[in-house]
Amino acid sequence: MSLYALPPIDVASYQPHAMHGADRSWAETNCYIDVWIEVLHAQGLNPAACLSMVFANDFDGDQWTFYKPPHEDLFTLYGIDVQELNVWRGLLDNACVQLRRGRLVLTETDAFYLPDTAGTDYRSNHVKTTIAIQEIDVDTRRLGYFHNSSYHELQGEDFIETFRVDKPCDPAFMPLFAEFVRLDHVQQRSDAELAALSLPLLRKHLARRPNHNPVSLFQPVFLHEVEQLKEQGMAAYHAYAFANLRQLGAGFSLGAHYLRWLQQHQGLQLERAASEFDAISETTKTLLLKTARAVIGKKPVDLRPLVAQLALHWQQGMDALDLALQARADS
């Protein structure tokens, strides 16, 4: 018998949110926000409203912020309550209890056993990622889950390994972090209502942004690390690119999408700022490719002009955003 948190979802007919469409600059951003985009979308909730946290993104010395929607934002906007799941019985047993109560379970897991990562990590690399568990059928050993840009299923051996069904008493295994999602207070709000709630959240996150241009601080570190990557090879490059360039570019791509949505429903003049943040997204994609060529070819490549462009777009985007919000405050 299957346990569901939401009404049953058919994998074959499931349509991901437009932010995960093939026409997007970054079809995937990071595993946590991608999961939330689809979890909200599956409930008929607009995920655009929860994206303002990206404007606090910073360069943190060895990575760009791995941005996540704060739990208090999710409750303010949608009535969704997220709590940590104490995995004291084992993930399978604890997840089943929560699904019986109509709650989704978000958990870190190993992409090695996720068939939707075929071609990258499936049966190839042990990589931590986050999924949202929507359906479990213990008898048939089948799991329905949100991951990255869509909804998927796994079964058989992948189910056994994901839940460690045959290894319940391994003293060396530490359970991965998990959360459960209470849905009993979910509120279906119009875009206009969501935008009115989201605008104060934008101001809150802008108050947390870096005091100095983070791209300018990133530049010397990045140029130094590219030289190291030339010696370390492409495996190191891919890990570095995900932690840094993808989080930078994809984060501000989501930010541009959010500002255009907010402009539509709050009447703010945000196109100039959105265009600057789109430019960060596109310039970062170019930088991603040029960095890969530099690592493969191990030849000198001057990447400073591209990073300087990114710094300029960040500053101009923030200045334009501040002006738009100040104009609203003065009106």
| Mean pLDDT for the chain overall | 96
Residue 171 above 80 pLDDT? no
Per DSSP, the residues of 187-253 read ----HHHHHHHHHHHHHHHHTTS-SS-HHHHHHHHHHHHHHHHHHH-HHHHHHHHIIIIIHHHHHHH
Residue 162 above 90 pLDDT? yes
| 28 vs 325, residue with greater confidence | 325
CB 247 within 8 A of CB 64: yes
Strands 81-84 and 104-110: unpaired
pLDDT level of residue 179 (50, 70, 90 thresholds): very high
Q: In the structure encoding, which two tokens stand for residue 223, read together?
A: 């140029």
* Mean pLDDT to the nearest integer, 184-188: 97
Q: In the structure encoding, which two tokens stand for residue 281, read together?
A: 């997204």
Residue 227 above 70 pLDDT? yes
Out of 25-34, 99-108, 130-139, which region has the weakest mean confidence (pLDDT)?
Answer: 25-34
CB 45 within 8 A of CB 188: yes
Exposure class string for 46-68: b at 16+ Cβ within 10 A, else e: bbbbbbbbbbbbbbbeeebbebe
At residue 45, the pLDDT reads 98
C-alpha 139/C-alpha 83 separation (Å) is 28
* Mean pLDDT to the nearest integer, 115-133: 95
C-alpha 256/C-alpha 292 separation (Å) is 26
At residue 252, the pLDDT reads 98
* Mean pLDDT to the nearest integer, 84-92: 95
At residue 168, the pLDDT reads 64
* Mean pLDDT to the nearest integer, 12-39: 94
The pTM score is 0.95
Helix (H) or strand (E) holding 154: strand 150-155
Residue 173 above 90 pLDDT? no
* Mean pLDDT to the nearest integer, 41-46: 98
CA distances from 265 to 45, 197, 251, 255 (A): 16, 11, 21, 16
C-alpha 13/C-alpha 182 separation (Å) is 26
C-alpha 107/C-alpha 98 separation (Å) is 13
C-alpha 95/C-alpha 5 separation (Å) is 10
At residue 166, the pLDDT reads 81
pLDDT level of residue 167 (50, 70, 90 thresholds): confident
Q: Which of 196, 271, 257, 246 is nearest to 57 (CA)?
A: 246
Exposure class string for 197-225: b at 16+ Cβ within 10 A, else e: ebbebbebbeeebbeebbbbbbbeebeeb
Q: What percent of the chain has pLDDT over 90?
A: 92
Q: What percent of the chain has pLDDT over 70?
A: 99
Q: In the structure encoding, which two tokens stand for residue 177, read together?
A: 């972090």
C-alpha 95/C-alpha 3 separation (Å) is 10
Residue 169 above 90 pLDDT? no
pLDDT level of residue 329 (50, 70, 90 thresholds): confident
* Mean pLDDT to the nearest integer, 274-279: 98
pLDDT level of residue 174 (50, 70, 90 thresholds): confident
